[in-house]
Structure 1
Amino acid sequence: MWIRHAFLGLFGFSAGIAIAAGTFAFIIMIGIVPRIAARSNTAKHTFCYENAILLGGLCGDLLSVFLDVQIPGGRPLLILYGFCAGIFVGCVAVALAEILKALPIFLRRVRMKEGLPWVVLFMALGKMLGSFFYFFFDMAAQ
């Protein structure tokens, strides 16, 4: 019986390492960290950004898997976390679309010459409103 548990633990640990490595490789491949650093004129701190992402992922994994920790702060901290996580996911999505050249191809097909910042803004607002309605009206339970 203990051999099954040991094998299951080893298998889960190995799968977690593989998924984490793939996630961080994806983030590095699309170049989101250097792009954010270049846009914010903080390119000299790129190494600190990469370390912060790595340590954040590691600490988040450790806290969520091994510790039963209740983070104080209630809704205000949850709102702040959701806001920051949304910014990160939005940056990853835009960087991925930019790398895959999806937006330029779409804009060429619809023959759009101006207004790209507005398109990106309204895409982000649509994503935000969709998420808000999904969670606020508890559509997951339906």
Structure 2
Amino acid sequence: MMLLKEVFLGFIGLSAGGIIAAGVFAFLAMIGVFPRIIGYTKTHKHIILFETCIILGGVLGNIFDIYEFPIGFGGNVALGTYGLAVGIFVGCLVMSLAETLKALPVISRRIHLGVGLQYIILSLGLGKLLGSLVFFAERFGQ
């Protein structure tokens, strides 16, 4: 009876996770993150590779989230590379959302800014980067 309960709970958990992952990927595709990246990099010929990498990224990300693998030698390099990749992706996601919602023209009109919006965006990003670096430097020192 206990085994049946665990199998059922495992099935429900995996099904719910699959639905959430499909929703996230559908949302990212709907707001145009992937087409924008492909358009900016002019790599239309490699769409199958992009799709494969997106699927592998989702699957491997879930596996690495569920199971804890020791990094061992070169762990800091691997974590740095992963952090850089995630940062680039989040930046692309945020800019895609901003373009989709047309938030930047609204902000610039409200604060009566004619020139220099790119500097405000850059300063927000650098502030986020600096805050993250300070936070993680404090946590790693413990």
**Scaled by the length of structure 2, what TM-score is found?**
0.86
Superposed counterparts of 1:19-34, under 5 Å:
19-34=20-35
SS at match of 2:94: helix
CA deviation map 1:4-58 (0-9, x unaligned): 2122101101111011011101110111111112122223323422321111111
Deviation at 1:69, TM superposition (A): 2.8
5+ residue gaps, structure 1:
none
Match of 1:16 in 2: 17
Deviation at 1:86, TM superposition (A): 0.9
CA distance in 1, matches of 2:94, 2:14: 28
- Cα RMSD after superposing both structures: 2.1
SS at match of 1:71: coil
Match of 2:87 in 1: 86
Corresponding letter in the other structure for 1:113: G
Deviation at 1:83, TM superposition (A): 1.1
Could you tell me whether the CA contact under 8 Å between 1:33 and 1:50 is conserved in 2? Answer: no
Corresponding letter in the other structure for 2:138: F
CA deviation map 1:61-118 (0-9, x unaligned): 23443x5532342112211111111111111111112111222211111121222322
5+ residue gaps, structure 2:
none
Match of 2:135 in 1: 134
CA distance in 2, matches of 1:118, 1:42: 29
Could you tell me whether the CA contact under 8 Å between 1:63 and 1:69 is conserved in 2? Answer: yes
Superposed counterparts of 1:1-142, under 5 Å:
1-65=2-66, 68-72=68-72, 73-138=74-139
CA distance in 1, matches of 2:65, 2:132: 23
| Alignment: residue pair count | 139
SS at match of 1:114: coil
Give the fraction of aligned pairs with identical amino acids, expressed as a percent: 45
Could you tell me whether the CA contact under 8 Å between 1:31 and 1:95 is conserved in 2? Answer: yes
**Scaled by the length of structure 1, what TM-score is found?**
0.86
